[in-house]
Structure 1
Amino acid sequence: MKKVFIYSVATLFSVFLGQAQDIKQAKIAIDAEQYEKAKNILETITATKPTDGYAKFLLGNVCLLKGDYPAAKSHFDVGITCSSKGNFSYIGLGYIALDKGDTAEAEKDFALATQNSSKKDLEETVYIGKAYTYSEHPDYKKAVELLSKSRLIDPANTTVLLALGDAYKFNKKQNDAYDCYREAFRLDNTLLRAKMGLGTLIKNAHNFPIALTAFDEVIALNATYGPVYRELAETQYLWALNDAGNYDDHIAKGLAFYEKYMSLTDYSLESRMRHADFLILAKDYKALEAEANEMSKIDKVNPRIYRYLGYSAYYNNNFDTAISSLTSYVNNPSNRVIARDYYYIGAAKLSKGVSLVPIDNALIDNGILDLKKSFDMSPAIASELPDLAKKLYDKKLYVPAASVYEIAIANTETKSYLMDNFFFASSVYWSCNGVENLSPQQIEQLTKADLALDTIIKASPSTQDAYLFKARIQVLLKNDVLVAKNYEDFIATANKKAPADLATKGMKSKLVEAYNNLGIIYVVNDKVKAKDSFSKTLSIDPANQYAIDQLKSLK
């Protein structure tokens, strides 16, 4: 009996050791972004030991990394019932709650995950810190707070240091992030993600040549570590944005690095989707269309393929396919919808509406609603809206152009903010110019346009056309006092320009407009000033018949 007991214990120990090794291999695969491999390992573990809550949690976590929320939640729901480490799956549920913006529910789940943990149980806190860091609604300060406490408990815990470095990085505390990554790598020089983290800080500082050197150092340690090639690809992409003269060369190198990344992870559907995401950044829409078609061969019903088909169809001017594909995607409640999905639906509707004869105003209006949804989800999308608005403006579709510009100027941080304000005001003016009886909505828009021009003047008082359009708007609003003031301000600002600028045909035309309108206003109460204004018109345009006639009538 004793021998049997010893043999049983030894067998049991070998089983546990084997499972521990499998968990370690799964974690290595996750770190290497080989998610399909990790998924297969963890599915085997959970099948042979259904009570292993930790393996179930890791499996759910892999599904989150792959963007499969329904599968992730299913694993977490089962995980919390497991007798071994079921508490971890509450962290996964909390992560999903954070992504939905339900902070209260997330905190409740995190509390359940840690209610029976001792002060020295740091792994739960690490995963909670990661949830706050990588959620769709991150709270970097909260992540730093939690992980900093864990670091005090165990300063040599490299898992804590790595997670804290990430939280600091996204919280724009680059020096603190550098300290964490460096210390983690000093303690464990096999921790390639920490070494790579140092390179990401350099990349984010836009020191691209040094960043490439840092990533090459990672490759020197392990040339098969896939994630470093993704970082190299993204570095080349960012460098391309900052080096327009060599844009194509950087993009080509970036795409080559991404192919290398895929070869070292897997060519699964998920890997192809990550590749498609990079193709979108690189604006290689022909390759994106080819990749989308390859993905559809693997899984014809996977909803994310609709996204890539929609994006590529838009750039290939196949607007119907873009609209139908992306509408199918966003209408599926299980899909993780992003701002760019609605942006391309709206852009496709605008493009199609404008191309039809006659123009489909209803479709254009509907597209603008989608652009508003896109902006509400991510105000950063505002930087891409002016290109769409300008196409409408150039076609003299001023009402929808104004609507798109109005969405764009709600984000005051874009590089084109002042110019967008000007085109918004200009669009509103031209949409109302010539209207006999302005509607309340048009008057409201003109008032907004006037305020938009004030924004320009405050930031750049020398922008003479801002005063010009303020005057024109006040003409429509029939406020002679403000008409006069703004035309006077326009003339004063314009006359500060160089003589060559004043001699251009465009500037002469604007000055004639200003002097003639001032003359009309002055003629009521100050005929001397009226004569002076009309005379100045003739000094610019001696054949201006309107000024000639007015001066005759004033004699």
Structure 2
Amino acid sequence: MKYLEMKLIKKVVNAGLLIAVVGTTAAYGQNIAEVKMAIDAEQYQKAKTSLKALAASKPSAEVYFHLGNLYLADYPDSAKALYSKGVAADAKNSLSYIGLGAIDLRNNNAAAAKANFDKAIDEAGRRDNDPYIYIAKAYIAAPKPDYNTAITYLEKAIAMDAKDAEAQLALGDAYRGLDKNSEAFSAYRSAYELNKSLLRAKIELGVINKRAQAWQQSIDEFNAVLAINPNYAPAYRELAETYNNWATKSTDIKDFEAKNKQALDAYRKYMDLTDRSLESRMRYADFLILAKDYKTLESEAQEMAKIDKTNPRIYRYLGFAAFENGNFQESITAINTWMSKADKSRLHPHDYLYLGKAQIKQGNAAEGVKNLTTALDTTLYSKMEPSIAEVVKTGVAEQMSAIGKDLFSAKKYEDAAQVYELSLQAPKPLVADRFYVGYSHYFHYVNVPEAEKSQHKASLVRADSAFSNVSKVVPDYALAYLYRARVNRLLDDEKNPKGLAVPHFEKFITLQAATPVDKLTKNNKLDLVDAYYYVGYHSILSDPNKAKTYFNKVLELDPTHAGAQQSLRSLATN
């Protein structure tokens, strides 16, 4: 007999496996059924307490498997130890090998996982399709999900029992992971039709609508679940997340505030219906980040720390919230604590992003930029599902623009240049960010002491390359030519200049020529005077008539320009 299962946390947190329930006695079966109901209601602490009691009084592979699943997300080593105890308790039970295979998937060891899964199937009865379902769930819940392999196992499970509602439920999860929403909807609907008590299947129908931004339809679906069972907590959680998503799409501030309030109210009901376990509180913390309610998040994280001082993820929440609330040193301390205690495989780009931002705010730009650079390191994204990795990396890269702007405003030009370069890893970098890479390098060079300039020539070379890249992307971006000219003027041989800036000044002049003189701003005129005079000066020997033309253009904009006046007098006497 199979029972409902409930995803413990969002897929990106890689929570546990489907809970299998196999009773050996009526009392034991009742206890396991109660555990399963607690997990389905997301009362994780209640489930954990019951399982620990069963492990002490009636240890079995099933009990260790359930308990291992509850530890899998945050304490994989503890989960592995529990699955191993399951093997010791009953080496013929399939569940323990499935748990060990899930650990292998977390460790990116697909071959070892397959060996454990094959062992699980070998130990199962020929008519038992449960292992196929649980193995499929392991692939779905892995850090790098393999939905196609999961579907292969689920097709075998359904071939063995066409009326298996849980197989259809898992099939819906796999199809949804592949963004095949029509197939997922069909599978979830089949699951609910096969077993009307399987409320998660009905919940997932609403989730499909939410993914399509059919907000009201998804809300109606969740409310329909609550009409069946008013105390079904996951429905309130989904309501909260739907209202929050809907709010973020609103362009009206009053509508945003109203929907965000509905979201928070629904999540409070969810918390009231759960046992406020650490797991449900962490899920609430994830939601508060989405809702940008950092005051509540900081308070909630402090409460979590009182419940469990050993779970390092609490410090991540404290770090994020402290930063958003302007407590930068507290943010640095908390994130460093999280990063020192957590397994390195669990570190996320946002950990480095927040740490880097906090360090910059505290005045340690050098260390901050190092962490921002790590936040975009490809190794951090290789362990994610590709679609999730793309979204996360885009979000991180897009934040670099604002950070670079702050650094530039603080006249930390070298640091600003590095951060703007990071912003170019966004799928569609802003033209302004491309320009500010070069602009920052240029200003870094011109602001270093004269005695140190020779040590910083590389900044000019980088600036030249950056402005060149801008021109390739936007050929009529006039400022890129102006500053590339100024960079090349500085790169030129001071004693025997070759006029390296001439072609870039000429391109700038051509682009500015379309603007009538009376429409030019004061800065436009100053820039054109600079360009005209430089080109005129470097044309004196090669083309005197061209030189006269440009010096006269200088005087049209600045009749008092002494250099142009003197050059014209010299040309007139030659």
TM-score (norm 1): 0.85
For residue 251 of structure 1, what is the aligned residue in structure 2?
Answer: 260
**Alignment-mate amino acid for residue 365 of structure 2:** I
Q: Distance in 2 between matches of 1:553 and 1:241?
A: 67
Q: Distance in 2 between matches of 1:114 and 1:285?
A: 47
Q: Distance in 2 between matches of 1:509 and 1:240?
A: 48
Residue 512 (structure 1) aligned with residue 513 (structure 2): no
Residue 276 (structure 1) aligned with residue 293 (structure 2): no
Further displaced range: 446-455 or 26-35 = 446-455
Deviation of 1:447 (Å): 4.5
The equivalences for 1:206-285 within 5 A come to 206-246=213-253, 247-285=256-294
Q: Distance in 1 between matches of 2:222 and 2:75?
A: 30
Secondary structure of the 1:211 match is: helix
- Cα distance 1:502–1:463, how it changes in 2: closer, same or farther (>3 A)? farther
Q: Distance in 1 between matches of 2:85 and 2:294?
A: 41
**Alignment-mate amino acid for residue 126 of structure 1:** I
Deviation of 1:70 (Å): 3.4
**Alignment-mate amino acid for residue 505 of structure 2:** Y
Deviation of 1:84 (Å): 6.2
Q: Distance in 1 between matches of 2:480 and 2:126?
A: 63
For residue 327 of structure 1, what is the aligned residue in structure 2?
Answer: 336
The equivalences for 1:165-176 within 5 A come to 165-176=172-183
Secondary structure of the 1:101 match is: coil
Deviation of 1:501 (Å): 11
**Alignment-mate amino acid for residue 467 of structure 1:** Y
Deviation of 1:18 (Å): 3.2
For residue 464 of structure 1, what is the aligned residue in structure 2?
Answer: 478
Deviation of 1:286 (Å): 1.6
| Partners of 1:133 and 1:167 within 8 A in 2 | yes
Instruction: Encode CA deviations 1:517-540: one digit per residue, 9 max, x unaligned.
Output: 333443342233333333334434
Deviation of 1:392 (Å): 0.6
Secondary structure of the 1:317 match is: coil
Deviation of 1:331 (Å): 0.7
**Equivalent residue in structure 1 for 2:61, among 28, 32, 53:** 53
The equivalences for 1:380-395 within 5 A come to 380=394, 381-395=396-410
Q: Distance in 1 between matches of 2:445 and 2:186?
A: 59
**Equivalent residue in structure 2 for 1:424, among 437, 455, 461:** 437
Question: Structure 2: any 5+ residue segments left out of the alignment?
Answer: 1-21, 382-392
Instruction: Encode CA deviations 1:298-331: one digit per residue, 9 max, x unaligned.
Output: 3344423322322232233333222222212111
The equivalences for 1:370-381 within 5 A come to 370-376=371-377, 377-378=380-381, 379-380=393-394, 381=396
For residue 7 of structure 1, what is the aligned residue in structure 2?
Answer: none
Deviation of 1:496 (Å): 5.4
Residue 318 (structure 1) aligned with residue 317 (structure 2): no
Instruction: Encode CA deviations 1:75-96: one digit per residue, 9 max, x unaligned.
Output: 1221222316543223323323
**Alignment-mate amino acid for residue 251 of structure 1:** N
Residue 286 (structure 1) aligned with residue 303 (structure 2): no
Instruction: Encode CA deviations 1:241-262: one digit per residue, 9 max, x unaligned.
Output: 3224334333332222211111
Q: Distance in 2 between matches of 1:429 and 1:491?
A: 20
Residue 532 (structure 1) aligned with residue 549 (structure 2): yes
Secondary structure of the 2:38 match is: helix
| Partners of 1:133 and 1:139 within 8 A in 2 | yes
**Alignment-mate amino acid for residue 486 of structure 1:** H
**Alignment-mate amino acid for residue 276 of structure 1:** A
Deviation of 1:342 (Å): 2.2
Further displaced range: 217-226 or 544-553 = 544-553
| Partners of 1:389 and 1:404 within 8 A in 2 | yes
Deviation of 1:61 (Å): 0.7
For residue 356 of structure 1, what is the aligned residue in structure 2?
Answer: none
Identity level (%): 39
Q: Distance in 2 between matches of 1:125 and 1:201?
A: 25
The equivalences for 1:151-190 within 5 A come to 151-190=158-197
Secondary structure of the 2:48 match is: helix
Residue 366 (structure 1) aligned with residue 384 (structure 2): no
**Alignment-mate amino acid for residue 106 of structure 1:** A
Deviation of 1:60 (Å): 0.7
Q: Distance in 1 between matches of 2:126 and 2:506?
A: 72
Q: Distance in 2 between matches of 1:260 and 1:395?
A: 45
For residue 421 of structure 2, what is the aligned residue in structure 1?
Answer: 406
Instruction: Encode CA deviations 1:325-369: one digit per residue, 9 max, x unaligned.
Output: 22121111458432222222221111111xxxxxxxxx3212222
Instruction: Encode CA deviations 1:285-305: one digit per residue, 9 max, x unaligned.
Output: 221222222223333444233
Residue 486 (structure 1) aligned with residue 510 (structure 2): no
Q: Distance in 1 between matches of 2:434 and 2:214?
A: 33
**Alignment-mate amino acid for residue 291 of structure 2:** A
| Partners of 1:495 and 1:502 within 8 A in 2 | no
Deviation of 1:442 (Å): 4.9
Q: Distance in 2 between matches of 1:241 and 1:229?
A: 18
For residue 147 of structure 1, what is the aligned residue in structure 2?
Answer: 154
- Cα distance 1:231–1:551, how it changes in 2: closer, same or farther (>3 A)? farther
Q: Distance in 1 between matches of 2:158 and 2:473?
A: 46
Residue 339 (structure 1) aligned with residue 349 (structure 2): yes
**Alignment-mate amino acid for residue 483 of structure 2:** F
- Cα distance 1:77–1:421, how it changes in 2: closer, same or farther (>3 A)? farther
RMSD after superposition:
3.1
| Partners of 2:400 and 2:423 within 8 A in 1 | yes
Q: Distance in 1 between matches of 2:438 and 2:559?
A: 32
| Partners of 1:418 and 1:455 within 8 A in 2 | no
- Cα distance 1:144–1:517, how it changes in 2: closer, same or farther (>3 A)? farther
Q: Distance in 2 between matches of 1:206 and 1:287?
A: 27
Further displaced range: 471-480 or 326-335 = 471-480
Q: How many pairs are equivalent?
A: 528
Q: Distance in 2 between matches of 1:206 and 1:102?
A: 36
Secondary structure of the 1:243 match is: coil
- Cα distance 1:275–1:528, how it changes in 2: closer, same or farther (>3 A)? same
Instruction: Encode CA deviations 1:91-133: one digit per residue, 9 max, x unaligned.
Output: 3233233333343443343333334346654332333322332
Residue 522 (structure 1) aligned with residue 539 (structure 2): yes
| Partners of 1:69 and 1:334 within 8 A in 2 | no
Q: Distance in 1 between matches of 2:509 and 2:126?
A: 73
| Partners of 1:54 and 1:84 within 8 A in 2 | no
**Alignment-mate amino acid for residue 69 of structure 2:** N
Q: Distance in 2 between matches of 1:546 and 1:285?
A: 60
Instruction: Encode CA deviations 1:424-459: one digit per residue, 9 max, x unaligned.
Output: 22212221236667668752x555544444554444
Deviation of 1:180 (Å): 1.8
| Partners of 1:218 and 1:228 within 8 A in 2 | yes
TM-score (norm 2): 0.82
